[in-house]
Amino acid sequence: MEILKNVKNKVADVFQLIGPSIMPVIALLPIAALLMGIGSAMTQDAMIEIMPFLATSGVQKASVILNAMGSLIIGNLGLFFAVGIAMNLSGKSGMAALSGLVCFLAMHKTIEMVAGLGVESLEVSGYANVLGIYTFQCGVFGGLLVGLVVAALYNKFHEIQLPQSLGFFQGERFVPIVSVLAGMACGLVMLIIWPPIQGVFNAFTNWLTVTPYRFLCVFLYGFVMRLVQAFGMQHLIYPFFYFQMGEYTNKAGQTITGDSSIFFAQMADKTEITVGGFMTGSYIATVCCIAIAFAMYRTAKPERKQKVKGVLLGAALTAALTGVTEPIEFSFLLISPMLWFIYCVFVGFGYAVTDFLQIRLGTALAGNGLDYILYGIIPKAHNYLLFVPVAAVFFVCIYFIFKTYILKRNIKTIGREDESDIALEAELENNAEELPGRVLAYLGGAANIKSITNCITRVRAKVYDRSVVDLDSYKEIGAKAVVTPGSDNVQLVYGSASEKIANTIKHMIAGGMGTAASVKPAGYQAFAEGRLIAINEVTDEVFSQKTMGDGYAIIPKNGRVVSPVDGKIDSIFPTKHAFGIVASDGKEIILHMGLDTVELDGDGFEIKVSAGDTVSAGQEIAVMDLERIQELGKDTVIIQVFTNIDDRIVKAETGQMVKAGEKIAVTIE
C-alpha cells in the first residue's frame, strides 16, 4: 500500500507540474479566438447591414489580417506548447525556450527526412506542413513531448562543467546542443509510436460519429472535467478534445485538429460548423453557476442578504462575462460534497444534451456571454437560438434543487455562516493589504517554498515540508478552499486575486521577507524520553559542527527508542548503533545512538525492525542497554540529523524534558 501511495503521489506531482506549465500557452487560445471572432464578425452580412462601413476594402482587409493572426496561433499550438512548457518547467529560462524551439524543429525535420515526406504527403490525412517541414500532424502531443524532454534536459545540464577547451559550451549553452540530439531521438520515437496513436484518435473520432453511446461519452467528458476541476487537473483533459481530436482541412490547405481549432477554422472559412460538442456544455456550466449563486442569495439569512448580495452578484457577473466559475464553485465544494456531485452531474448532462440537440457554440476557453455573441449569434452557429430555452430549463432545475437541499440540510453556504466565520470575514477585509504575507506565513514562510505560481483562480505552491502547513485553517487567510494533490503541492483558491497574491509573494521572497518568523512548527515526535538539547551541545565535532547535517539530540532517561516520523527504515548499520530513515514527506534522517558506539559492534543494542520496514511515528525501533553502553565507556546521547535539507537550519525548543512519542516543535528554515 505504501508503494502504491508513493506512486500515486509521484504521478500527481507530475500532473501538477504539467498543469500550470501549459496555462500560459492555453492563455493564447482566447486571444486567437477573439481575433478570429472579430475578424469573422466583420465579414458577416448581418453585421454589414447594421454597419455598412464594414464593407469597405480597408475594413475587409483588416478582417482578413485578424483571421490570419488567429489562424497563426491555432495552427502552431504544437510549437507554443514545446517552447512554453520547456520554459515554464525550467524556471522561466529563455535558453530552455530556445532549446524547445530547436528540439521541436529537429524532431519534425527528422520525421520528414527518415520517412521521405514531401508536398505530396499533404494529400493524405494525418500529415501537415509545420513551418515548412512536411511531417506528421501530431499537434500539441508533439509539443508536449518536446517541452517535457527539454525541461528535463535543462534541469539536468544547465550547470554542466566541460573541459577548459570546450568551456564556451558549458552551462546553459550546452542545452540547445543536446536538445538537437534529443529532437532527433524524439523524431525517431514518433515515427514508431505516432501512427498507431493517430489511428486510435481517428478511430475514436469516427466511432463517436456513429455510436449510440455518444450521449454517454459526452456526458462523462463533461462530468469528469468538472469533477477533477476541484483538484486543478482539468487542464490535463480538455487539450486532447480541444486541440487533437478530429481533423479538418481549411481553404488554405492546412490540416487542423481539435474541436476548438476546427470550430474557429470553419468559422474563418465561412463554412458549415460541424464541431463544438465538447465546448457548448461549458455554457451550461456557467448558467448553472449563476443559478447556484441566485439560490445561495435566496437562502441567505435575512440580516446577511444585503452583505452577500454584492459578493454573489460579482461572482455571477464574473461567470457571465468571463466564464470563470471557480469563485462560485468553491463556495460550496468543501461545504457540501453532495452539492458538488449534483452540480457535476448537471454539467455532464448539459454537455450531453446540447451535443444531442446539435447546438454548436464555440468558446475561447469557457462559455460566457461575450463568447455567445461572437461565436453563436454573429456567425449564426447551428441551433444557437435553441440554447436559450435549454439553458433556461437547466437554470430553473438546478436553482430549485440547490435551494431545497441547502434549506433542508441547513448547509452553511454564503450568507448562512456561523458568527465566527462572519467575524473572520470582517477581519480579513480590514487587513486586505496584509493578505500575501499571511498566505506566505500559512505556507510555512519563504524557507518552506520551493516555487510559487498561479493559474486563473489558484495560488499554486510547491513546499519542502507540507506538514508545516495547517491545512485545516485555510479560511483564516481568506481562501475559498485548499487542495493538496501529490506530495508537496498546496493549491489555495482565491479566484481572480490569485495572480496578484502569487506575484506579491514572489517579490516578498526575493526581498528576503517572510523568513524565519513566518515558519510554523513541523510535526516530529521525540525519539526517546529525556532532555532535548541542541546539536551543537553534542560532544562530538562531527555532529556539533553539523558535518552530516543539522538536527538535535536527546540525552535519554531510558533505553527505549522510537521512530520520530512516519516513514521507512532505509538502512540499519551493521553495528546496530544507527538507522537511516526516509520520512513520508521525503526528509532523510540519520538516528545515531550514542557516540563512538560503532566500536561496540552491536553490544548494548537490540533492534526491533528490519531494513525496508514501514514505521509509524512513535513506533519502537530499538532498545539501548544504557548501563552496558556506559560501562563500556561510551556516551549514550541520541542524535537526529536531517541529511537532505541543504543549508537550511533546524530549530527545536531545546532544554525541555520530553517523552518518547511526544510531539515536539521543530522548524526547518
Q: How confident is the model at residue 666 (pLDDT cuts 50, 70, 90)?
A: confident
* CA-closest candidate to residue 256, choices 269, 245, 267, 247: 247
Separation between Cα atoms, residue 373 and residue 354, nearest integer Å: 17
Q: Is 273 helix (H, G, I), strand (E, B) or coil?
A: coil
pLDDT at 614: 85
Amino acid found at 423: A
- Better pLDDT: 268 or 111: 111
The four Cα atoms 347, 282, 271, 212 give a dihedral, to 10 degrees, of -20
Better pLDDT: 120 or 364: 120
Residue 637: pLDDT above 90?
Answer: yes
Say which range, 177-181, 342-346, 435-439, 516-520, has the weakest mean pLDDT: 516-520
Enumerate the active-site residues: 455, 592
Predicted confidence (pLDDT) at residue 292 exceeds the cutoff of 90: yes
For 563-583, the pLDDT digits (tens) are: 998 888 989 998 999 999 988
Residues whose CB is less than 8 angstroms from the CB of residue 420 and which lie 6 or more positions away in sequence, other chains included: none
What is the arithmetic mean of pLDDT over 37-50?
A: 76
Lowest-confidence segment of 183-197, 281-295, 453-467, 583-597 by average pLDDT: 453-467
More confident residue, 402 or 7: 402
Cell numbers for 310, please give them. Answer: 454584492
Question: What would the pLDDT profile of 593-606 be if each residue is shown by its tens digit?
Answer: 999 998 999 999 99
pLDDT at 17: 59
User: What was the pLDDT predicted at 273?
Assistant: 83
Dihedral pair phi/psi, residue 406, rounded to 5°: -60, -45
CA distance 588 to 548: 11
Half-sphere CA count of 167, side-chain side, radius 13 A = 2
pLDDT on residue 349: 95
Where does the pLDDT of residue 394 fall: very low under 50, low under 70, confident under 90, or very high at 90 and above? very high
Is a pLDDT exceeding 60 seen at residue 519? Answer: no
pLDDT of residue 19: 59
Per-residue pLDDT reduced to its tens digit, 250-268:
887 777 888 888 888 888 7
Grid coordinates given for 237: 483533459
Whole-angstrom distance, CA of residue 79 vs CA of residue 97: 11
Would you say residue 238 has pLDDT above 70?
yes
512 band by pLDDT with thresholds 50, 70 and 90: low
Q: Which residue reads 452578484 in cell numbers?
A: 313
Q: What is the DSSP string of 501-558?
A: HHHHHHHHHHTT-S-GGGPPPEEEE-SSSEEEEEGGGSS-HHHHTTSS-EEEEEEESS
Cα–Cα distance, 299 to 308 (Å, whole number): 11
Instruction: Identify the pLDDT of residue 102.
Output: 94
Is the pLDDT reported for residue 78 higher than 70?
yes
The percentage of the chain sitting over the pLDDT mark of 90, rounded to a whole number, equals: 27
Helix (H, G, I), strand (E, B) or coil at 489: strand
- Does residue 179 have a pLDDT over 80? yes
- Measure the CA dihedral 603/607/612/613, to 10°: -170
CA distances from 386 to 266, 286, 366, 371, 390 (A): 21, 17, 19, 16, 7
pLDDT band at 424 (very low <50, low <70, confident <90, very high): very low
DSSP SS3 for 649:
coil
Average pLDDT over residues 532-557: 89
Q: Strand pairing partners for 651?
A: 667
Tell me the pLDDT band of 110, cut-offs 50, 70 and 90. Answer: very high
pLDDT tens digits, one per residue of 603-621: 999 999 998 888 888 899 9
Letter for the amino acid at 380?
K
Phi, psi of 555 (to 5 degrees): -85, 110
Indicate if the pLDDT at residue 515 is higher than 50. Answer: no
Cell numbers placing 432? 486586505
pLDDT at 663: 82
> Confidence class of residue 287 from pLDDT cuts 50, 70 and 90?
very high
pLDDT band at residue 293 using 50, 70 and 90 as cut-offs: very high
Query: Which of 401, 454, 439, 638 has its CA nearest to residue 531?
Result: 638
Alpha-helix residue ranges (DSSP H) falling in 211-323: 214-228, 238-243, 259-269, 281-298, 305-322
CA angle 149, 155, 157 (to 5 degrees): 95
With the C-alpha atoms ordered 420, 421, 427, 433, is the resulting torsion angle positive or negative? positive
Residue 189's pLDDT band (cuts 50, 70, 90) = very high
Contact, 667 vs 651, CB < 8 A?
yes
Query: What is the pLDDT confidence band of residue 423, given thresholds at 50, 70 and 90?
Result: very low
pLDDT above 50 (res 416): yes
Q: Residue 457 pLDDT more than 80? A: no
Alpha carbon distances (Å) from 477 to 230, 232, 331, 372, 501: 19, 20, 15, 36, 12
Task: At 147, list the grid cell.
Answer: 517541452
User: What average pLDDT does this structure show over 419-424?
Assistant: 48
Judge whether residue 525 has pLDDT over 70: yes
* Most confident among 11-15, 217-221, 365-369 (mean pLDDT): 217-221
DSSP state of 644: S
pLDDT band of residue 518 (cuts 50, 70, 90) is very low
pTM of the model: 0.58
- Between the two ends of the chain, the Cα-to-Cα distance in Å is 32
Query: Higher-confidence residue: 330 or 185?
Result: 185
**Cα–Cα distances in angstroms (integers) from residue 402 to residues 247, 295, 352, in the given order:** 40, 6, 21
Higher local confidence (pLDDT), 106 or 381: 106
pLDDT of residue 522: 41
Going by pLDDT thresholds of 50, 70 and 90, the confidence category of residue 113 is very high
**Taking the CA atoms of the chain, what radius of gyration do you get in angstroms?**
30
Sheet of 489-493: strand order equals: 449-454, 458-463, 489-493, 481-483
% the chain with pLDDT above 70: 87
Report the largest interatomic distance among the alpha carbons of the chain, rounded to a whole angstrom: 104
pLDDT at 343: 94
Is residue 159 pLDDT above 90, yes or no? no
What value does the mean pLDDT of the chain take? 82
